[in-house]
């Protein structure tokens, strides 16, 4: 009888009844943020329970009921090992940089469960019939079974973590990195002069399958010196595609106009600084990304550095293109961001 009482006391010390569980170090929990070790860990979560993961945590899978809330912060990683975990309701939020990993088991959620995945979800034999939303990564080594609503992410084939373009020796160098890839085939680098109409400038073979960072790059032999836009098109082995965000590259060449903008982004107005090799009148033209001219005017500039103020208060938050042209129709374009 005494042994049974002792076992019961030890069990209650490990799984305490507090509603809040904060990780305060590796595999250590407290009932408050930064508080003392409570000698407990989350188990059998239910309505009113809140779990906050800020560190590396390894624990067995658990039973969930009601509507508990779990938040995994950017530095947090929670690994649940062994057996199946049923999540029938509640909210799981994985912040960017955070990871939820289910190892050697299944992760099954009911139709009233919401995953906000902006970090990384890893699972073996992932089965989900709840709702998955976010802009992060879903990776798995088993099968993904969609028996409910999974939107908009269903095991994205590629997780893009970086995409940029720089000018070097008269060419553009485009670089990008992936954090993970599933059945990826190749990347198509697209270029545009108006952020709307794109053409292919390079095709780069993809890694295929990976769970580590892969770096890619290519060179674009620019036919003109101007403002250009780039976008990535990823194609997997089944022919499915996904596009990246659009990035802009302001090119500098041998024109007699070299311009810069500050502040940029701007709220009400911005200053355009430009240098000229001769005095004269210069045309100014402000356009949106569709090429529609919103403003046209002129200014007299002296030889050397000049400045002009551009008012943006009447325009919506977006990015715009300012074109400066001299009497010889030599022009320079610079991007202005309104926010």
Q: Which two tokens stand for residue 245?
A: 């965000």
Do the Cβ atoms of 228 and 191 come closer than 8 Å?
Answer: yes
Q: Token match 């892969």: residue?
A: 214
Decide if pLDDT at 204 tops 60: yes
Q: Token match 């430009």: residue?
A: 274
The predicted pLDDT at position 267 comes to: 84
Write the DSSP assignment of 70-125 as a string of letters: EEE-TT-EEEEEEEEEEEEEEEEEE-TT-EEEEEEEEEEEEEEEEEEESSEEEESS
Rounded Cα distance between 121 and 308, Å, is 50
Decide if pLDDT at 65 tops 60: yes
Phi and psi torsions of 303, nearest 5°: -65, 135
Do the Cβ atoms of 85 and 62 come closer than 8 Å?
Answer: yes
The residue among 228, 232, 230 whose CA lies nearest residue 188 is 232
Which of 39-53, 72-86, 202-216, 233-247 is least confident?
Answer: 72-86
The predicted pLDDT at position 271 comes to: 85
The predicted pLDDT at position 200 comes to: 92
The predicted pLDDT at position 237 comes to: 86
Q: What is the mean pLDDT of residues 91-107?
A: 71
* Other residues' Cβ atoms within 10 Å of the Cβ of residue 168: 8
The predicted pLDDT at position 216 comes to: 95
Q: What is the mean pLDDT of residues 307-332?
A: 79
Instruction: Decide: helix, strand or coil at residue 6.
Output: helix
What average pLDDT does the chain have?
74
> pLDDT: is 256 or 288 the higher one?
288
Decide if pLDDT at 3 tops 50: no
The predicted pLDDT at position 27 comes to: 86
The residues near 337 (Cβ < 8 Å, ≥ 6 apart) are 264, 265, 266, 318, 319, 320
With a pLDDT cut of 70, the percent of the chain lying above it is 68
* Other residues' Cβ atoms within 10 Å of the Cβ of residue 105: 18
The string of pLDDT tens digits covering residues 20-56 is 899 998 889 998 888 888 888 887 787 778 898 988 8
The string of pLDDT tens digits covering residues 230-249 is 899 999 888 888 888 788 88
The predicted pLDDT at position 6 comes to: 31
* Other residues' Cβ atoms within 10 Å of the Cβ of residue 320: 21
The predicted pLDDT at position 251 comes to: 66
Q: Which helix (H) or strand (E) holds 12?
A: helix 2-14
Alpha carbon dihedral 53, 55, 60, 64, in 10-degree steps, equals 0
pLDDT band (50, 70, 90) for residue 225: low
Q: Token match 């992936």: residue?
A: 178
Rounded Cα distance between 234 and 206, Å, is 9
Rounded Cα distance between 187 and 242, Å, is 10
The residue among 140, 177, 136 whose CA lies nearest residue 153 is 136
Decide if pLDDT at 207 tops 60: yes
pLDDT band (50, 70, 90) for residue 136: low
pLDDT band (50, 70, 90) for residue 138: low
Q: Token match 């499915």: residue?
A: 240
Q: Assign residue 48 a region: left if phi > 0, alpha if psi is -120 to 50, beta otherwise?
A: left
């Amino acid at each position: 009888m005494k042994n049974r009482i002792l076992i019961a006391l030890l069990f209650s010390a490990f799984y305490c009844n507090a509603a809040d569980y904060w990780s305060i170090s590796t595999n250590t929990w407290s009932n408050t943020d930064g508080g003392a070790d409570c000698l407990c860990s989350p188990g059998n979560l239910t309505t009113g329970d809140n779990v906050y993961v800020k560190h590396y945590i390894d624990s067995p899978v658990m039973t969930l009921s009601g509507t508990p809330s779990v938040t995994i912060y950017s530095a947090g990683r929670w690994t649940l090992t062994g057996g199946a975990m049923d999540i029938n309701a509640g909210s799981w939020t994985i912040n960017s940089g955070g990871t939820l990993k289910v190892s050697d088991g299944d992760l099954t959620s009911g139709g009233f469960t919401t995953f906000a995945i902006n970090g990384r979800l890893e699972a073996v034999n992932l089965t989900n019939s709840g709702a998955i939303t976010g802009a992060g990564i879903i990776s798995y080594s088993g099968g993904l079974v969609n028996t409910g609503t999974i939107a908009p992410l269903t095991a994205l084939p590629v997780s893009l973590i970086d995409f940029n373009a720089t000018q070097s020796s008269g060419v553009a160098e485009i670089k990008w990195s992936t954090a993970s890839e599933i059945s990826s085939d190749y990347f198509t680098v697209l270029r545009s002069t108006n952020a709307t109409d794109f053409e292919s400038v390079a095709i780069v073979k993809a890694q295929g399958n990976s769970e580590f960072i892969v770096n890619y790059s290519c060179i674009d032999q620019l036919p003109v010196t101007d403002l250009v836009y780039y976008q990535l098109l990823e194609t997997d082995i089944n022919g499915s595609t996904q596009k990246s965000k659009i990035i802009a590259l302001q090119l500098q060449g041998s024109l007699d106009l070299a311009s810069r903008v500050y502040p940029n982004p701007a709220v009400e107005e911005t200053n355009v600084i430009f240098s000229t090799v001769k005095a004269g009148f210069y045309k100014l033209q402000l356009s949106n990304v569709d090429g529609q001219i919103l403003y046209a005017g002129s200014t007299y500039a002296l030889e050397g550095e000049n400045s002009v103020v551009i008012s943006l208060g009447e325009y919506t938050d977006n990015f715009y293109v300012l074109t400066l042209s001299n009497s010889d129709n030599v022009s320079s374009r610079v991007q202005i961001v309104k926010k």
